[in-house]
């Protein structure tokens, strides 16, 4: 349609392209299936490499499928390179089980950063989580040194949970002060934006809330460092969802792109959209399961398509506190 309001042509936004290297499932929403739709809805071109192709996520009773190895990843990247289309603004990665695959991702990110020094690498260092206060890794232990020594130093934005932040820094978090110090340690390793996506810290609003913390460190032209730190409290939703971390990282990528120097707004939009999606999902899952029944994995798949409007333009229902 030529011309917008008042006949002025809309200034086209420069194409922004994301290379997303994550799992693929035929049915449901995790990995690339959880990241691609929201990024496309928010105006990004998304090129996906599927690190695995499974029938469904591994929380179901059964799953089948194939795993991509590091040589195959390299081959796909070579194909892009031969056609000279290996130009990206963002790289996004999540759950990986294999050290050589992860090392290949690092090689690719470094090469892409040589092509484009402004490339932003968004990494969710998926390694494990806490259940009832006890942390455990659900990837092989030998991934930790690769994340710590190779991946995090080339990352620009990382989204660990509390347990993963503790693993990466070797330091336990018992208080908000500890968490801020751990985020500073993570900044010192490389990333300028760190978001601890969930923690077992006591929320000021009470036990029904989950705390997330964010920190953005920028070095200004004159060499001075500025750090913006925020806390967010979101209502706990009583269910086990899969793919939420992948959706979170994708939306954080999008909203930090749109609000580059305002972590507060980027996180408010990300976390609020998450809440809308989770509330819609749990409501729908409970309706499907029927009164008194616990929803199963299939019923708890994220209601992604149904949440398109919330993803595009989230009503802010979770506010961030600047610390």
Lookup: tokens for 98: 């294999």
Lookup: tokens for 164: 């993963």
- DSSP character string of 257-291: HHSTT-HHHHHHHHHHHHHHHHHHHHHHHHHHH-T
- DSSP character string of 76-112: HHHHHHHTT----SEEEE-----HHHHHHHHHHHHHH
Q: Residue 100: how many CB atoms within 10 A of its CB?
A: 12
Lookup: tokens for 56: 């469904």
Q: Are 304 and 37 in contact (CB under 8 A)?
A: yes
Residue 273: CB partners within 8 Å, gap ≥ 6?
A: 38, 251, 307, 310, 311, 314
Q: Tell me whether residue 107 is exposed, middle or buried, using C-beta atoms within 10 angstroms of its C-beta: 0 to 12, 13 to 18, 19 or more.
A: middle
Which residue is catalytic, options 98, 124, 156, 246? Answer: 246
C-alpha–C-alpha distance, residues 54 and 23, integer Å: 8
Active-site residue 156, yes or no? no
Nearest CA to 192 among 143, 158, 221? 158
Lookup: tokens for 81: 């390179």
Taking the CA of residue 205 as centre, how many other CA atoms within 13 Å lie in the half-sphere pointing to its CB? 15
DSSP 189: H
C-alpha–C-alpha distance, residues 20 and 94, integer Å: 9
Residue where the block lists tokens 């810290």: 201
The residues assigned a catalytic role are 246
């Amino acid at each position: 349609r030529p011309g917008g309001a008042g006949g002025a042509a809309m200034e086209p936004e420069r194409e922004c392209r994301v290379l997303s290297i994550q799992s693929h499932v035929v049915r449901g929403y995790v990995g690339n299936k959880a990241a691609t739709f929201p990024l496309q809805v928010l105006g990004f071109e998304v090129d996906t490499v599927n690190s695995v192709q499974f029938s469904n996520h591994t929380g179901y009773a059964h799953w089948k499928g194939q795993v991509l190895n590091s040589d195959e990843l390299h081959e796909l990247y070579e194909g892009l390179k031969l056609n000279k289309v290996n130009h990206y603004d963002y790289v996004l990665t999540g759950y990986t089980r294999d050290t050589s695959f992860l090392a290949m991702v690092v090689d690719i990110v470094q090469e892409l950063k040589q092509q484009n020094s402004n490339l932003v690498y968004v990494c969710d260092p998926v390694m494990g989580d806490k259940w009832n206060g006890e942390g455990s890794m659900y990837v092989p232990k030998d991934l930790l040194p690769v994340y710590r020594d190779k991946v995090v130093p080339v990352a620009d934005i990382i989204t660990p949970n509390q347990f993963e932040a503790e693993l990466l820094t070797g330091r336990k978090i018992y208080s908000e002060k500890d968490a801020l110090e751990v985020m500073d340690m993570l900044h010192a390793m490389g990333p300028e934006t760190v978001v601890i996506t969930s923690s077992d810290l006591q929320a000021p609003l009470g036990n029904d809330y989950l705390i997330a913390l964010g920190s953005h460190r920028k070095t200004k032209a004159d060499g001075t460092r500025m750090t913006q730190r925020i806390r967010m409290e979101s209502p706990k939703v009583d269910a086990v969802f899969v793919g939420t971390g992948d959706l979170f990282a994708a939306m954080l990528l999008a909203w930090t792109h749109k609000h580059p120097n305002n972590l507060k707004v980027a996180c408010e939009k990300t976390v609020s959209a998450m809440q809308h999606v989770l509330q819609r999902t749990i409501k729908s899952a409970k309706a499907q399961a029927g009164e008194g029944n616990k929803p199963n994995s299939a019923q708890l798949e994220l209601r992604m398509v149904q949440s398109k409007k919330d993803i595009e333009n989230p009503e802010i229902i979770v506010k961030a506190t600047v610390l």
